[in-house]
């Protein structure tokens, strides 16, 4: 993995930041893309502290016109993209009868079309060099149904389907395509969801977090470091292709690593 170049979307915070730093610790040079310039600059600085080259990239996965220049910037600064981590995503909840077309379209644009567009940008080079890794951060919701998140669940099912179909297409060509499917992860997405639940139900924030943790089969929140470890293993392992790596809190939680 040393000197490979990785592009991580949604890398300014949460899972994306931890994945970017996990890859940096393994010797990958990392480009961190998101709309939040200050946050990706901070992640890139933390990666440089680990001894690799890093680049903060202004990136909106819903704006196809900006993706080619963004990837060109990464190639010019760090080199061809060997590892693409499609992590940027959104999750909004609503009963189906209040799931309006705008909410529906947002989930498909960010969670499905964004990974499709970025993968199209970098896959030809991977195939030409006969080495590449595409890692899609999906969700347990990409494998099972859940109430009040129809748009999110649909988008993550689509991302898993995209993963499996593309993996079959590139099989034997030096490129692997896999998905990581975590349950609720201890990040801002859960904290924000817990605040919404608390406001709507009268529960305390702590009670709302605990309720979300209990939804995971393991009864606890998944740690971001677990998602990063899965991503690192998928980069390292050349035989895993077309798989959905399930992280549901069933195994003991790892110790937290602070940046």
Residue with tokens 């644009």: 109
Q: Which helix (H) or strand (E) holds 25?
A: helix 14-25
Is residue 168 classed exposed, middle or buried when 0-12, 13-18 and 19+ CB atoms within 10 A define those classes?
exposed
- What's the CA angle centered on 152, arms 117 and 195, to 5 degrees? 120
Please report where in the chains the tokens 């209990």 appear, as a residue: 214
Length of the chain: 259
The rounded distance, in Å, linking the Cα atoms of 242 and 149 is 25
Closest CA to 71 of 32, 109, 122: 122
Of 234, 144, 24, 189, residue with least CA distance to 7: 24
CA distance 56 to 160: 27
User: 3-state class of 9 per DSSP?
Assistant: strand
Q: Which residues are catalytic?
A: 152
């Amino acid at each position: 993995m040393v000197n490979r170049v990785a592009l991580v979307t949604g890398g300014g915070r949460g899972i994306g930041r931890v994945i970017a730093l996990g890859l940096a610790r393994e010797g990958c040079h990392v480009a961190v893309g998101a709309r939040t310039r200050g946050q990706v600059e901070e992640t890139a600085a933390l990666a440089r502290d680990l001894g690799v080259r890093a680049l903060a990239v202004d990136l909106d996965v819903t704006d196809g016109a900006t993706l080619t220049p963004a990837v060109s910037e990464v190639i010019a600064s760090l080199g061809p993209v060997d590892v693409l981590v499609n992590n940027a995503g959104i999750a909004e909840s609503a009963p189906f009868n209040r799931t309006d077309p705008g909410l529906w379209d947002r989930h498909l644009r960010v969670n499905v079309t964004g990974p499709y567009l970025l993968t199209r940008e970098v896959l030809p080079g991977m195939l030409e060099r006969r080495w590449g890794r595409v890692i899609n951060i999906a969700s347990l919701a990409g494998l099972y149904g859940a109430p009040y998140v129809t748009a999110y669940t649909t988008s993550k099912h689509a991302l898993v389907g995209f993963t499996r179909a593309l993996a079959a297409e590139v099989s034997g060509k030096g490129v692997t395509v896999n998905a990581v499917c975590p349950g609720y992860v201890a990040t801002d997405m859960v904290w924000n969801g817990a605040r919404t639940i608390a406001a709507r139900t009268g529960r305390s924030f702590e009670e709302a977090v605990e309720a979300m943790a209990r939804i995971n089969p393991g009864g606890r929140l998944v740690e971001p470091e677990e998602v990063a470890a899965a991503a690192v293993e998928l980069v390292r392992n050349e035989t895993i292709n077309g798989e959905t790596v399930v992280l549901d809190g069933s195994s003991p939680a790892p110790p937290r690593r602070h940046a």
